[in-house]
Amino acid sequence: MSAHPQRSPTGAVHPHQTPLPPHPQVNGHLPIQAQGQSGPPLTTWQKILQVNEAIWLQLGNLCEMMGNLDGAIDAYQHALRHNQYSVPAMSAISCIYRTKEEFPKAIEFLQNILKIDPQSGESWSSLGHCYLMIDNLQDAYSAYQNALYHLRDPKEPKLWYGIGILYDRYGSLDHAEEAFSQVMRMQPDFEKANEIYFRLGIIYKQQQKFHQSLECFRYIVKDPPRPLTEEDIWFQIGHVHEQQKDFEAAKAAYKKVLDRDPQHAKVLQQLGWLHHQQSSSYASQEQAIEYLEKSVAADTNDAQSWYLLGRCYMSQAKYPKAYEAYQQAVYRDGRNPTFWCSIGVLYYQINQYRDALDAYSRAIRLNPYISEVWYDLGTLYESCNNQIADALDAYSRAAELDPNNVHIKARLQLLQSGQAANQGNAPVPQDVHPQAYQVAGVGPPGPQWGAQAPSGAPPAQPSVPSARVTEWARGVNEVQGQAATSNQYDQRENLRGIQPQHPSPRSDQVRPPFPDQARNNAGRKGLSPSPKFNLAAPNNYPGPQTLPQLGAPPQGAERGPNGAAFGSSVRPPSARSEWS
C-alpha cells in the first residue's frame, strides 16, 4: 500500500514574526519590537543595527514564502549578527528546522529563546513538540508542563494534540483520550482531526469501549489519515468485531482488506487465529493453518504469525510441526514471555519436564506476572516426583496474580486438603492467550489540575523490587544455573532438546526433541456523522495547570491490531508526520 505524504503543522506556536514583549539586551540595543516604547534614546549605531535586523528579517520571510528555506536561515542568521538576541530571528530559524525535521537544531534555538524569555509559553510548547519528535518523552513532559503554566490561554489545539501523543506514547490511555477529546471540543475542524479519531479508536479498543471505537473507525474509513489507507481502517474494524466475539462481522471486515490486498500479512494472521478460536473442528483448524501459512509466507519476519501457527499445530497434537513454528518465532523474538510459556507446554506434552521447567523459568524472568506460567509450573511440579510443596507455592503465586480464577483456587484447595495425592493425576497445563500479556504502558495517576509551578521532570514510578522477583523465581533458578536477576537472552535463541532424566546440555550441544526432522530457518469518500464524545464539557482553564504525572514508558510505542506493535503494513501516522 502506498503512503501519501501530507504536510504537517509547524507546532503550537504563533507565527514567528509576532512581536514579543521587550527584554533586556546584553549588547545594549533594543530588539525591533521595542520601537516606539519609552526608554533611553537610541544611538545612531543602535538605530542602524535595528534597521539592518529588520531588513534581514524581511528578507528571511520573503525566502520562506518562495520556499527557499536555506536562504531564509541564512537571512535570519544575518539578522542575529546585528542583534544576537533577536527573538523573531531565533523563532523563525527554529520553525524552519522543525519543517526540515532537524529537531536537535530547533531545540538549540528554542532553548536560547527561553534563556531570554523563560516565561514564553509558546516557546515551551514548541520545545515540547521537538522533544516529542526525538522520543525524549521526559523533557517533552517538562516542556509541556511549563507551557501550560506560562500560557495565558492554554486552549491551544495543537498543544493538546502533542500532549495526547505524549500520553499515548506512554500508554496512559485515559489521559491521552482526554487530551485528544479536548482538541476536538476546542476545534472540531482541526487539521489532524482524522488522525485523532484513529488514535481515539485505538485507545477505545484498548479500553474495551468497542462501540466508541467502531464509531471512530467508521467515521474515517473513507478518508483515513495518511499514510494509512482504507484497508488499514477496515483491519481495525475487523479486530474490534473480533474482540466483541462477533466473528462473522470480523471476517467480513478482514475480507474487505484481502479483496484489495490478498497478501496482507496481518489480516491473514488475524483470520487464521479467528478460525482457530471460532471452532475446534478439524476443518476450522485446517483453515486457520492455511491462513497462517500464507501470513508467514507474506512476512517471514513476523514472530507472532509463526507463534500462532505453532499454537494451531499444538491443538492438533502435531508436536514436531509446533516445535518448528515455535523455533521460528523465538528465533525472531527471544524475549517474548508468551512464547516461552507455550514452549514449556509443548515440552510438557512430550514429557521433557526439565526442558519445560527451563522454558517456564525464562518466561518468569521476562515477566513474573503471568498467572498462567505459574499455574503451568505448578502442574509441572505435580508431575515431577509429586513435588506438592513446590506446586502449592506456584499455584499460590498464580492465585495471587489472578484472584478471580476459580480453576486455580480449586486446584489450590485440592492440594491443601491432601486429596490431590490420592487422585494421582496432575492437571493439564493451560496455555496463555496470545494477546493477554502484550506490552502496555504504565499509566500515571489521575489529573491534578492546579496552579502550582511545574517542578521539572515527572517522578518515576517504582520498579519491580528485585528481591520480590527473586523470591518468586524460587525453584527455577537451579535449572538456569545463574542469578535470578539475569535477563539477557539472545533475540535469536534455539529451543532446547533434552531427555528429562539428564541435566540440561550446554547451549552449543543442544539437540531438537525431534532429531529426525530437518529444520529450515528460512521463512516460507463520504463521511458518516462525527463520533460523539460522552465527556464533560471542556474545562474553563481557570489558571495554570499541571499535567498528570507520567509512569514508565512502554517498550514499543505503537499499538497494533494484536495489542503490540504495528506490522509493516499497518501503522499509525508516522511520528515524523505529526509536526514540521
User: What backbone torsions phi and psi does residue 130 show, to the nearest 5 degrees?
Assistant: -65, -45
| Per-residue CA distances from 82 to 18, 19, 50, 53, 259 (Å) | 19, 18, 7, 6, 63
pLDDT in tens, 336-390: 999 999 999 999 999 999 999 999 999 999 999 999 999 999 999 988 877 888 9
Q: How far apart are CA 226 and CA 191, in angstroms?
A: 12
Grid cell listed for 194: 482524522
pLDDT at 556: 42
pLDDT in tens, 275-334: 998 888 888 899 999 999 999 999 999 999 999 999 999 999 999 999 999 999 999 999
Residues in the chain, how many? 580
pLDDT at 546: 63
Torsion, Cα 358 361 366 370, to 10 degrees, reads 130
Q: What are the chain's domains?
A: 8-134 (1.25.40.10), 157-261+432-457+540-580 (1.25.40.10), 263-368+464-524 (1.25.40.10)
SS3 annotation, 41-103: CCCHHHHHHHHHHHHHHHHHHHHHHCCCHHHHHHHHHHHHHHCCCCHHHHHHHHHHHHHCCCH
Handedness of CA 191, 130, 165, 562 (dihedral sign): positive
pLDDT at 513: 43
Residue 288 near residue 312, CB atoms below 8 Å: yes
Q: How far apart are CA 106 and CA 130, in angstroms?
A: 7
Report residues of the chain scoring pLDDT below 70.
Answer: 1-39, 419-425, 437-580
Residue 29 near residue 49, CB atoms below 8 Å: yes
User: What backbone torsions phi and psi does residue 269 show, to the nearest 5 degrees?
Assistant: -65, -45
Grid cell listed for 108: 538549540
Nearest to 254 by CA among 514, 284, 246: 246
Q: DSSP string of 362-428? A: HHHHH-TT-HHHHHHHHHHHHHTTT-HHHHHHHHHHHHHH-TT-HHHHHHHHHHHHT-HHHH--PPP
Residues 6+ apart with CB under 8 A from 118: none
pLDDT at 39: 64
Residue 443 near residue 173, CB atoms below 8 Å: yes
pLDDT at 535: 37
Which residue type sits at 300? T
What b-and-e string marks burial along 122-133, b requiring 16 or more CB atoms within 10 Å of the CB?
A: bbbbbbbbbbbb
Residue 469 near residue 367, CB atoms below 8 Å: no
Residue 198 near residue 573, CB atoms below 8 Å: yes
Nearest to 448 by CA among 551, 550, 547: 547
Taking the mean position of all CA atoms in its chain, how far away is CA 255? 27
pLDDT at 292: 97
Q: How far apart are CA 158 and CA 543, in angstroms?
A: 19
Which residue type sits at 27? N
